[in-house]
Amino acid sequence: MTAMTARVPDPTEAPEQQPWQWSEQTWRGHVDRVRAGRSLTPASWPGGARVAVALSFDSDHETIPLREGETRPGKLSQGEYGARAGAPRVLRLLDRHGIPASFFMPAVSALLHPGEVRDYVAAGHEVAMHGWIHERNMLLDPADERELAFRAADTLERLSGTRPVGIRTPSWDFSDHTLAITRELGLVYDSSLMADDEPYELLADGEPTGIVEIPVEWIRDDAPYLMMERYGALRPYTPPRDVAGIWRDEFDAAYAEGGLFQLTMHPHIIGHRSRMAALAELLDHIAGHDGVWYATHADIAEYVLRESP
């Protein structure tokens, strides 16, 4: 085998070949760069619980328009709603149920709303990384992605009082360099990938990394069901209570399988009155079950690592 054929392909280079012309080594190289390793599903959840419930909220607020360079007050106000009305409403609902959650927050959002970060911490929730300004990692040079990630970690640590242990890439946009940066940051887990319903260990070019993946899915995300674009064709196509019905089926199956039920929501999306009614209904359904372990993403990552060292 020559050094030439052993070379790991770099997709940022101009493509020399069409995918159907790739050698087996080339297509295997792409697939193996970041891949699911061993399952980290524990034999049982803490206290003999039958299911782990991990609720997360991505507190993007104004960074969704800002990352596009969109500075119109009207668009920014939709994000501001998330901080001003959505997040407090989410906190009240979690408090009513006594449920801990994970809040993934772009550093710029945390700098705009430092009191919100303090409220999360005071209520016992996790604050974790979600980029600098909700940037798209795939558009960045590796050095820029790394610098923004370290700056975001430092900013969250300063505002929350704790160094974050987990990351969710903005828009789940996971670049070829994200995993190496995640390892260099010393994080315990990522929550951006979709290879399983249950936690697993990430492999980098076939090698175990020790990084836990808490997998996400668009099915368990409020955004695709409920977002709306005024000048585009994107309109909400699922009524909020139907969304809660899909999530209830996801929870029921996770409960039956003894697995993980993970949700991704956004204060500026789910935080509206009619949608919070649907979320409250779902939480009531979950509360009707015995053996539910409510945990932050960090709690779950640390538990499954302890159980499968």
Comparing CB distances to Zn ion, the nearer of 58 and 213 is 58
Task: In angstroms, give the least distance from the CB of 112 to Zn ion.
Answer: 14
Task: In angstroms, give the least distance from the CB of 236 to Zn ion.
Answer: 18
208 C-beta neighbours (distance < 10 Å), count:
11
Task: In angstroms, give the least distance from the CB of 234 to Zn ion.
Answer: 17
Task: In angstroms, give the least distance from the CB of 28 to Zn ion.
Answer: 31
Comparing CB distances to Zn ion, the nearer of 60 and 197 is 60
Give CA–CA dist 94/283, Å, rounded: 9
Comparing CB distances to Zn ion, the nearer of 60 and 250 is 60
Comparing CB distances to Zn ion, the nearer of 134 and 177 is 134
- Spell out the residues 6+ positions from residue 102 whose beta carbon is closer than 8 angstroms to its own: 54, 55, 56, 57, 125, 126, 127, 128, 166, 191, 296, 297, 298
Give CA–CA dist 84/225, Å, rounded: 22
Comparing CB distances to Zn ion, the nearer of 216 and 292 is 216
Task: In angstroms, give the least distance from the CB of 309 to Zn ion.
Answer: 32
Comparing CB distances to Zn ion, the nearer of 83 and 286 is 83
Give CA–CA dist 251/85, Å, rounded: 27
CB 260 within 8 A of CB 49: no
Task: In angstroms, give the least distance from the CB of 130 to Zn ion.
Answer: 6
The footprint of Zn ion (CB under 5 A) covers 58, 60
With CB atoms as reference, the residue minimizing the distance to Zn ion is 58
